[in-house]
Structure 1
Amino acid sequence: MSDKPAITITRLDMQRLEKLLDSLEDFTPAAEALEQELARANVVSHQEIPAGIVTMNSRVHCREEASGKDYTLTVVYPQDAGKEGTVSILAPIGSALLGLAVGQQIDWNTPGGKVIKLTLLNVEYQPEAAGDFTL
């Protein structure tokens, strides 16, 4: 497995995600993956997070390197997932995107077992940059 890039998250996202993990009845591999991401994250205040970092409820533009296919995704809490273009933080790609900076790459394990490389091209919307701290 390749080295994971450094990630940064907000203290508020950390608190909310730890609460989410604590509330789960079944601790799935996806929950374990999120817990591992949180454990390695650099945590900053919501005023200090750079605009090009993926936070909760961020809308991002990324590209699959092998195919060149572009994706626009919004990383959301599980209860907000299911709408077109949303991805739950408990989905492998959701937890993999959290905390990434523009230009960083991740290896994403698809449900079918294939590993694809995604590059974060842009954070189109980040709540903190827009002053939306209640999302």
Structure 2
Amino acid sequence: MNAVSLGERKLTELDYGRLIQLPAARGVSPLADLLGEAEVLETSRMPQDVVTMYAQVQVEDLASRRRSRFVLCYPGQTEPRDGYISVLSPVGLALIGTRVGTLASWQSPAGAQCQAKVLAVARAA
């Protein structure tokens, strides 16, 4: 299972509206849990340090200290070589709605427990 520790999460109304329409939002799933627990805010009221869809997020892996940049996108839009990862991936679900300074945790497809600290968030203007 690719369980994710949810913690406090914030979603924009737009992101929430789009995510809830995905098939993965139905039934019992990590996405359904996230949508049920997240605080939903108007886009204009979203703090700039929160990871939203299409925001570029920089993280640091706690084990390796390696820094990576990702852009969360919807399924079908992924381009891993360019850093575009699905919000439905274990990493994507761990990051969406978190703030700078948060420790995100997820289980890799191989079963390894992973943790990374959110270092920065940049949104397109």
Which TM-score tier does this pair reach, normalised by the shorter chain? 0.7 to 0.9
Q: 1:3 to 1:94 in 2, by over 3 A?
A: closer
1:72 aligns with 2:74: no
* Structure-1 residue corresponding to 2:95: 97
Distance 1:97 1:16 in 2: 17
Compare 88-97 and 13-22 and name the one that shifted more: 13-22
Is residue 10–residue 50 contact of structure 2 (8 Å, CA) maintained in 1?
Answer: yes
Is residue 5–residue 106 contact of structure 1 (8 Å, CA) maintained in 2?
Answer: no
1:58 aligns with 2:55: yes
Higher helix share: 1
Distance 1:15 1:110 in 2: 27
Q: TM-score, normalised by structure 2?
A: 0.87
* Structure-2 residue corresponding to 1:14: 16
How many residues are treated as equivalent by the alignment?
122
Identity of matched residues, %: 29
One-letter amino acid matched to 1:110:
S
- Deviation of 1:33 after TM superposition, in Å, equals 1.2
1:37 aligns with 2:6: no
Q: Secondary structure at the match of 1:5?
A: coil
- Deviation of 1:21 after TM superposition, in Å, equals 2.9
Is residue 5–residue 105 contact of structure 1 (8 Å, CA) maintained in 2?
Answer: no
Gaps of 5+ in 1: 131-135
Gaps of 5+ in 2: none
Q: TM-score, normalised by structure 1?
A: 0.81
Distance 1:104 1:44 in 2: 19
Aligned CA-pair RMSD: 2.3
One-letter amino acid matched to 1:113:
G
